[in-house]
A = this chain, B = another copy of it.
Amino acid sequence: MDKIDELATALARLPGIGPRQAKRFVFHLLSVPSAERSRLAALIADLGARVHQCPDCRRFYNPASPRLRRAGGTDSEVCNYCSDSRRDDGLLLLVEKDQDLAAIERAGTYKGRYFVLGGVLTLTGKGGIREKELIAILEKRIRNGLKEVVLALSATSEGEHTTDHIRLMLAPYRDLIKTSLLGRGLATGSELEYSDAETLRAALSNRKET
């Protein structure tokens, strides 16, 4: 395979990018000054070294003082959410990926801890976290005061599959921790006429006195 196609194939692995757009990316990159390509390549190559994965919540974050970290720090340094003592250790919110966590933070009302599954939960850990690992993490957190796990997966069939899987996994811990699901109902912009029966049933049973 030639170099144009080789790069196009690599770029086509980016989420939402097909072979055609990947090829446009290659020709775009060919058209820019080589310094811009070098800079992009450096940013990609260094990404893992410069961005840290928090050992506690597994989210990716930019360490506040990378210089200090590189000098004396260790890879066990936790992120700002995990090190924030004002956050509630009794609550743990599980999300699928970093952008979901960012969306919850933007909402601005959640003050507990997070955990990023990093993909689908599997027995092998390929493409996400291994079931055994997740259990070990939760057991440790239960010893440290965890009272409720919030399963904050998307309201899609994939998200519901993961939710069901984790609920089953957590069943033996029922006496120690509560498990909760995000509330269902009308999302902003939903019109009644076009809402599905499941959403309307949830909206009716979750109705709020005013």
Contact A27 B97, CB 8 Å, known A155-B187, A182-B185, A185-B182: yes
Q: Residues of A within 8 Å of B, CB-based: how many?
A: 100
Tell me if A183 is interfacial: C-beta within 8 Å of chain B.
yes
Chain B residues closer than 8 Å to A47, beta-carbon distance? 3, 7, 26, 29-30, 37
Interface residues of A in 24-77 (CB under 8 A from B): 24-32, 34, 36-48, 50-51, 53, 60-62
Indicate how many identical chains form the complex. Answer: 4
Chain B residues closer than 8 Å to A138, beta-carbon distance? none
* A contact residues vs B (CB 8 Å cutoff): 2-4, 6-7, 10-11, 13-16, 21, 23-32, 34, 36-48, 50-51, 53, 60-62, 95-100, 102-104, 106-110, 118-119, 150-156, 159, 167, 178-210
